[in-house]
Structure 1
Amino acid sequence: MDNFFTKNKLSIYGGLITFVFLGIAVFFLGDISGYKAKELIEVSLSGLNMLCNTIVLGSATILALLLTLLGISTGSNSKLKKAHYIQVLNIAKLDTVLFISALIMFQMFNIPLTESEDMHTEWFKYLYWITLFFSSLISGMMVTVILLLYTTVTNIITIVGLEKDHYLISEDEIEEEEEKD
């Protein structure tokens, strides 16, 4: 797992910057009362549902497109190292966590909590902050997945499309080409 973080620093930093930026923006809202939090939840509920819906659809599409990427990878003339397939596997794992998280949040937002008369208004303040934290978190995760996918796609374009030497090309293939020359 340590190797994952060192090889994908830029993608992870992109997700963390997004998360922190959204968190700071929310922090500037300041302390709010339970009643005000209830109003803000009601106003932002449609946007949060749309965010979760978009992330669910996007992450499901990314998982499907990873299958296409694997088809291109195995069908290419170049023999790729296991590192490429591990990179695709890591994207799939993170994307699956993102998909499940966004789906759970989407379901939670469809519970009519703001209509509940039994819920004390003070709880809405905590619910509001939790909602903002997790929406920032899944937004940051989505940015990380997109940046990881971008790196993988550019690697494949370099190897398959441009037929350039790349660190993901197997050493056996490089040695075979040197023997032919």
Structure 2
Amino acid sequence: MFKLTHYNKRALYGGLFAALVTGTGAFLLGNISGYEARELLASSLPGINTLCNTIALASATILALLLTLLSISSGSQSKLKREHYEHVMRIARMDTVVFVVSLVTFQVLNIPFSEAEGVSGMWYITLYYVSLGVSSLLCGALISVVLMLYNAVVNIIKVVGLGETDNPLVNDDTSEEE
């Protein structure tokens, strides 16, 4: 799919850890009945919807910040390697997936499930755990995106702001411009 660098692996592990921590709370409840699931679903949906809205807003903001990062990257005196731009593309791709999934999740969870009559209790249990699982994954994915963005920003600061020429992202072919 795509090459994982040291920075990407670290960011993905951070997001996976966050998803596991946030998802563990739901499974600590143990077995719940259909009625309990219906009540828990009704009480958790407003929070999950707010989370999806927040993640969508954060993802859109991150995409805008990536444009700024690209502007700074291309305007720098140092020639950056292709690897830097590929890293920014990976961030944008993952961020776009997080954005789309959060919006779709928001729309699906706005269906008034807790108002439905004649639905089996197992359906509520499944929906409850799926909604908590998806929200945990979205949380972890956004954390991964933010960590990847952090790594890209730190590298730009090192190259552009601090003038590091020995950074692995700096292209050594400066003689072509002269």
> What range describes the TM-score normalised by the shorter chain of this pair?
over 0.9
Contact 1:55 1:102 in 2 (8 A): yes
Structure 1 stretches (4+) deviating beyond 3 angstroms? Answer: none
Q: Can you list the C-alpha shifts for 1:136-174, whole angstroms capped at 9, x where unaligned?
A: 10011001000000000000000001111211000213x
Matched residues in 1 for 2:76 and 2:138: separation?
A: 34
Q: CA deviation at 1:5?
A: 5.4
Which range is displaced more, 119-128 or 10-19?
119-128
Matched residues in 2 for 1:59 and 1:120: separation?
A: 36
Contact 1:5 1:12 in 2 (8 A): no
- Between Structure 1 and Structure 2, the one with more helix by share is 1
* Aligned equivalent of 1:40: 40
* Aligned equivalent of 2:173: 172
Contact 1:35 1:122 in 2 (8 A): no
- Segments of structure 2 that go 5 or more residues without pairing to the other structure are none
Identity in percent? 49
The one-letter amino acid paired with 2:80 is L
Matched residues in 2 for 1:80 and 1:2: separation?
A: 20
Paired residue secondary structure (1:172): coil
Report the count of equivalent residues. 175
TM-score by length of structure 2 reads 0.94
* Aligned equivalent of 1:73: 73
Q: CA deviation at 1:6?
A: 4.9
* Aligned equivalent of 2:122: 122
For the aligned residue pairs, the C-alpha RMSD in angstroms reads: 1.4
Matched residues in 2 for 1:45 and 1:132: separation?
A: 9
- Segments of structure 1 that go 5 or more residues without pairing to the other structure are none
